[in-house]
Amino acid sequence: MGEANPLLHFLFVSFPGQGHVNPLLRLAKRVAAKGLLVTFTTTIEFGSRIRAASQLIFPTESDSDLIPVGLGFLRFEFFNDGADPKNSIKDLSYLMTNLETNGPSALVDLIRRQSAAGRPVSCLVNNPFIPWALDVAAELSIPSAVLWIQSCAVFSIYYHFHHRLANFPTDKTLKTLVQLPGIPPIAPDELPTFILQSNPYKSLTEAILAQFHNISKARWIFSNSFDELEHETLTVFAEISPIIPIGPLVDVGEELEQEEIKADLWKSADHCLDWLATQETNSVVYVSLGSVVMLPANEMAEFAYGLRNSGRPFLWVVREDVRGLLPEGFEKAMDVEGKAMIVGWSPQQKVLASKAVGCFVTHCGWNSSLEAITAGVPIVAYPQWGDQVTNAKFLCDVYGIGVRLTAPATRETVENCVAVAVDGEEAARMRNKAETMREMARKAIAVNGSSDRSIEIFIDDVRKRVAGDGQSSVD
């Protein structure tokens, strides 16, 4: 591919959400590692929360701090969208409106500061929910790319829905089976919930679909997936709108050891790794429902007693904002028994890499799903909304590495699903499939793997454009 030009400067612009920032930051690190300068940005309010939780990567408040990553450097510089932190955290509609109103001018100012500092932006990369970033790039004649942070199958579903290229359920056709090329038939209760008539989060639907209005302005559309995982979907969809898999965007090997370059909003309880090291191989049930899901108190109780009744050691991530929903005295009882650990946040990739973990009870967010796939860990799927329900279908029915926990969970169903995922012939079958997928995922992101080559081609393409060569190598 040749040596990367050290003057190339990539600007990664993220929507201020945990599930958006993490994959984009991981892509930023991989691009920087090729010998480039990468600036990562999001709102200043979200950035301050990242700084508070990740002091190791922010030695000072200076925007000039360079963090070595592989052969290149990563830096952080946040933009001020003028949002009220109290409103932006709780009200998605307020956040979206404010970003759309103030974000473009703030981003233009940030880009101009880069030029004034002698590091003009060579390419802009953004993720969903901030489609206006593509408009800014186009106005400033900067080539741009979009990172789709969900599966290619979900991208295809939304794309077909937005452009009305297929029949979807309506109030009059509630049982319509959705038939899309390259994807198994999808039942209504397996579709992303945001496109259903019953969806109460209309602002989310609008935000998701808005990105398809101007996505043609992006020179590259990337997906956090890999060819070997979604080959048929990618092949068929390439005839409609080419999408380039560059995932899984999961830290492995040396990347995992340098995981302090992350964007968690909460400080992880790293001491849980020491506890995991004392447990037997494939014995621990790891439970985490992500950064947003909030179960009601009765369901938390059912989970608690189901995990306890399983008789297996478990590591359960219970955020501080939902800690009070645990049954009274439960955490203290678990401490006394010594067979479980409850933490506010975990270093999830390192947890899943532990040989002690036997299965992962997850909400099936795409980031968590890919982390489980890359670690080779069977799944107990408990999706809540959005693409999670579609991911659960693929994890259980297509990839064959998971068992579905039906909602609402009861202590009996929690206990039974854990048993299926950890013990017996079915567990062995799922683990074997998970191990096979683990190897495919790691080969994809290894040097000269399918996803690694796509990143190299992308960088070469940008280099040619900066040098004034209009010929593209990603056609």
Q: Between helices 424-445 and 450-466, what is the axis angle to 10°?
A: 30
According to the model, what pLDDT value does residue 255 have?
Answer: 64
According to the model, what pLDDT value does residue 54 have?
Answer: 61
CA distance 361 to 9: 40
For 331-349, what is the mean pLDDT? Answer: 94
268 pLDDT above the threshold of 80: yes
CA distance 310 to 153: 34
Q: Which residue has the tokens 């059912």?
A: 302
According to the model, what pLDDT value does residue 89 have?
Answer: 53
Q: Which one has a higher pLDDT value, 196 or 432?
A: 432
Provide the whole-model pTM.
0.92
Which three-class secondary structure state does DSSP give residue 168?
coil
Q: Are 184 and 398 in contact, with CB atoms under 8 Å apart?
A: yes
Both structure tokens of 154 = 């979900």
According to the model, what pLDDT value does residue 61 have?
Answer: 57
According to the model, what pLDDT value does residue 172 have?
Answer: 76
Backbone angles phi, psi at 91, to 5 degrees: -120, 105
Q: What is the DSSP string of 271-299?
A: THHHHHTTSPTT-EEEEE-TTT----HHH
CA distance 145 to 244: 11
Of 98-102, 338-342, 471-475, the one with minimum mean pLDDT is: 471-475
Residue 424: count of CB within 10 angstroms of its CB:
10
**Domain spanning 266-443: CATH 3.40.50.2000:** yes
pLDDT, tens only, 4-57: 444 699 999 999 988 999 999 999 999 999 999 999 999 998 888 777 766 555
20 is catalytic: yes
According to the model, what pLDDT value does residue 433 have?
Answer: 97
For 321-337, what is the mean pLDDT? Answer: 93
According to the model, what pLDDT value does residue 171 have?
Answer: 76
Q: Between helices 297-309 and 330-337, what is the axis angle to 10°?
A: 20
According to the model, what pLDDT value does residue 57 have?
Answer: 57
Distances from the Cα of 236 to the Cαs of 232, 242, 329, in angstroms? 6, 9, 54
Closest CA to 210 of 146, 125, 122: 146
Q: Which residue has the tokens 């579905």?
A: 404
Bin 29: left if φ > 0, else alpha if -120 < ψ < 50, else beta. Answer: alpha
For 45-70, what is the mean pLDDT? Answer: 73
Per domain, the residue ranges of the chain are 9-253+445-466, 266-443
pLDDT, tens only, 391-413: 999 999 999 999 999 999 999 99
CA distance 227 to 306: 37
CA distance 152 to 294: 27
Give me the amino acid identity at 127: N
Comparing 9-253+445-466 with 266-443, is the CATH topology the same?
yes
Residue 1's pLDDT band (cuts 50, 70, 90):
very low
239 pLDDT above the threshold of 70: yes
Q: Which span out of 195-204, 221-230, 253-262 was modeled with the highest average pLDDT? A: 221-230
According to the model, what pLDDT value does residue 469 have?
Answer: 54
Closest CA to 40 of 73, 70, 3, 2: 73
Backbone angles phi, psi at 23, to 5 degrees: -65, -35
pLDDT, tens only, 94-142: 888 889 999 999 999 999 999 999 999 999 999 988 999 999 999 999 9
Residue 60: count of CB within 10 angstroms of its CB:
7
According to the model, what pLDDT value does residue 467 have?
Answer: 85
Q: Are 462 and 143 in contact, with CB atoms under 8 Å apart?
A: yes
- Catalytic annotation, pick one of 20, 160, 213, 231: 20
Q: Which residue has the tokens 């992350």?
A: 262
Q: Provide, rounded to the nearest whole percent, the portion of the chain with pLDDT above 90.
A: 74
Q: Are 284 and 389 in contact, with CB atoms under 8 Å apart?
A: no
The architecture of the domain spanning 9-253+445-466 is: 3-Layer(aba) Sandwich (3.40)
Q: Which one has a higher pLDDT value, 474 or 156?
A: 156
CA distance 104 to 135: 8
Bin 424: left if φ > 0, else alpha if -120 < ψ < 50, else beta. Answer: left
Distances from the Cα of 366 to the Cαs of 7, 120, 152, in angstroms? 34, 33, 11
pLDDT, tens only, 214-237: 999 999 999 999 999 999 999 999
According to the model, what pLDDT value does residue 260 have?
Answer: 66
473 pLDDT above the threshold of 50: no
CA distance 454 to 460: 10
Distances from the Cα of 359 to the Cαs of 192, 287, 315, 377, 381, in angstroms? 25, 9, 11, 6, 10
87 pLDDT above the threshold of 70: no
81 pLDDT above the threshold of 90: no
